[in-house]
Amino acid sequence: MPAASASPNTVKPLLISGEWITTADSTFESINPASGSANFLISAASESLVDQAVESAWQAVRQPAWRDMLPHKRASILRAIADGMERHADTLARLQMIENGKVWAECQAQVASAAATFRYYASVCETLNAEVTPSRGNYLSMTQYEPYGVVVAITPWNSPMTMEAQKVAPALAAGNAVILKPSEVTSSPALELGRIALEAGLPPGILNVVTGLGATVGKRLVEHPGVRMVSFTGGTASGRAIALAAAEKLMPVALELGGKSPHIVFADADLPKAVEGVIGGIFEGSGQSCVAGSRLYVQRSIAPQFIDMLVKRASQLKVDLPDAAGAQMGPIASFAHREKIERMVGTALADGGEVLLGGQRPTVDALQSGAFYLPTILGSLTRNAHVVREEIFGPVLCALPFDDEDDLIDQANDSAYGLASGIWTADYQRAWRVARRLEAGSVWINTYKQLSIATPFGGFKQSGIGREKGLSGLRLYQQTKGIYWGM
């Protein structure tokens, strides 16, 4: 594992039109949540730098070198970016680890996944077809897909590498210039991606990385008249604000927002496998996942047995420094977010809930300076409890019983969210019935958190608008044009 590459006083520059710009008079700190110490300083873009980024992106996207580049040539650059990510995999993984606290193995896996995303969209880029449409007269009609021009990608702190690849790769493949605005908590992986993209031959200005706070830099980018489309992954409240700003501009948006996903265990399930699935579904990444299975519904006849199995297994998870051997859970990504999780657990107790496991910080001396929180399982809750209805975004599982399919569906769909869900059962007909009735964009059956870049992903209800990944993930960044040839 490589050592840290910068001191706490180092100021990391942002990237505009191939130039690295340091704003020494306007910076913010990158904090390591495992230790509480500063990693380095990050340049914060001013309003004028945001304007410069948008202007440079338009200049670049209008140049023949990018505008007229053939799909297979564009694909070769995307593959070169993937190659660069693989060469610098340890650096990318370490930057993510020291900024958001994910364990080392997960950071490595996410860098590999991000590189694979660039390879996937390289293949899509040079093989995706347009259509000749059925004629209704003496003409030939066809579709053509055009880029928006300049799009903004705003990414979250929980999985920066995969989220940035999931937006940047298809947007570039579609022919756009992209302004990447990473979370202020995890800015460094995006900056490293910008460096790799330049080395791979991406024309300057086609990928600008603009760092800063969401309330200022993000807001300015969303409202900027030169931005034609925004793709955002993050909290539902921020998504609403972006949608409101987009409505003023009549600008399309893609929003992948929060979740409160139901994870369902029927009495006929393979219980040991279901236990492992539930554990991974909520405690991987310290529960900081939009698809975390945070609402557990267990059929009443097996609920006591299953909860006992679950508590025993979760108590064995190794919470440790993210680069410690065998670590399975690292810290929460920030101290402020840990405090929010603690307040939510306190609310659960006030609502009559019971802590079955965890509910506190670890007492190990080596972890006292970090933002650690133990795997937590809550019981004795009703569907109306605040923690059952609101996204916690942490390692906190709410366990509730259900009686039959109708009772289950009533409880599972009683949510403002609809991002993901999981079902454990040996009855394939039941699995199909329940999967069809669940209001969720993804349903896993006898597995959980299996994700494929080739499969469209997005949410129902307040969990978002639009679908990323797959072929639709590239079309998301294009406009459809009809062309008619008189015969």
Angle CA(17)–CA(23)–CA(25) in degrees, nearest 5?
A: 165
Task: Please say if the pLDDT value at position 121 is more than 60.
Answer: yes
Q: Is the pLDDT of residue 349 over 90?
A: yes
Which superfamily, per CATH, for 14-257+463-486?
A: Aldehyde Dehydrogenase; Chain A, domain 1 (3.40.605.10)
The pLDDT value recorded for residue 25 is 87
pLDDT tens-digit readout, 456-484: 999 999 999 999 999 999 999 999 999 99
The C-alpha atoms of residue 153 and residue 163 are separated, in whole angstroms, by 9
8 Å CB contact between 360 and 338: no
Element housing 161 (H / E) = helix 160-173
Q: 357-401 pLDDT, tens per residue? A: 999 999 999 999 999 999 999 999 999 999 999 999 999 999 999
User: What is the residue type of 279?
Assistant: I
- Per residue in 73-89, pLDDT (tens digit) is 999 999 999 999 999 99
- DSSP conformational letter for 77: H
Spatial distance between the Cα atoms of 74 and 170, rounded to a whole number of angstroms: 11
Residue 292 tokens read as 């975390």
The Cα–Cα gap between 184 and 215 comes to 10
pLDDT at 7: 75
Strand-strand pairing, 150-154 and 229-233? parallel
pLDDT on residue 397: 98
pLDDT of residue 2: 40
Confidence check: pLDDT of 265 > 90: yes
Question: Which percentage of the chain shows pLDDT scores above 70?
Answer: 99
Cα–Cα distance, 159 to 222 (Å, whole number) = 22
Q: Where are the domains of the chain?
A: 14-257+463-486, 262-445
CA distance 131 to 144: 8
Pairing state between β 19-21 and 14-16: antiparallel
Fold match flag (14-257+463-486 vs 262-445): no
pLDDT band at 145 (very low <50, low <70, confident <90, very high): very high
Tell me the angle at which helices 428-437 and 405-412 cross, rounded to the nearest 10 degrees: 30
The model's confidence at residue 224, banded by pLDDT at 50, 70 and 90, is very high
* pLDDT for the residue numbered 193: 98
Q: Does the annotation count 256 as an active-site position? A: yes
For the segment 191-218, the average pLDDT, to the nearest whole number, is 97
pLDDT at 3: 39
With cut-offs at 50, 70 and 90, classify the pLDDT of residue 6: low
> 42-60: per-residue pLDDT in tens?
999 999 999 999 999 999 9
> For 120-129, what is the mean pLDDT?
96
**In this structure, are residues 330 and 324 in contact, taking their beta carbons and an 8 Å threshold?**
no
Query: What secondary structure does DSSP assign to 50-80, as a single string?
Result: HHHHHHHHHHHHHSHHHHT--HHHHHHHHHH
CATH code, 262-445: 3.40.309.10
Q: How far is CA 71 from the centre of its chain?
A: 27
Contacts of 445 (CB under 8 A, 6+ apart): 422, 423, 424, 425, 431, 435
| Rounded Cα gap, residues 431 and 436, in angstroms | 9
Instruction: Find where tokens 């190659």 sit.
Output: 83
- Give 475: exposed, middle or buried? Use CB within 10 Å, 0-12, 13-18, 19+: middle
Q: State the pLDDT confidence band at 9, using cuts at 50, 70 and 90.
A: confident
The band of 1, judged by pLDDT with boundaries at 50, 70 and 90, is very low
Q: What is the mean pLDDT of residues 209-226?
A: 97
CA-closest candidate to residue 195, choices 61, 15, 22: 15
Q: Look at residue 4 in the predicted model and tell me its pLDDT.
A: 44
Q: What is the mean pLDDT of residues 3-14?
A: 76
Active site residue: 99, 184, 256, 391, which one? 256
pLDDT for residue 5 is more than 80: no
The predicted model gives 222-239 an average pLDDT of 97
Q: In what order do the strands lie in the sheet with 376-379?
A: 354-357, 376-379, 396-402, 295-299, 262-265, 420-424, 442-445
Residue 330 has pLDDT above 50, yes or no: yes
**pTM of the predicted model, to two decimals?**
0.96
| Confidence class for position 119, pLDDT limits 50, 70, 90 | very high
Q: What share of the chain is helix, strand, coil (3-state, %, to 5)?
A: 40, 20, 35
Residues 400-457 pLDDT 10s: 999 999 999 999 999 999 999 999 999 999 999 999 999 999 999 999 999 999 999 9
pLDDT tens track for 266-310: 999 999 999 999 999 999 999 999 999 999 999 999 999 999 999
DSSP state at residue 4: P
Q: Mean pLDDT over all residues of the chain? A: 96
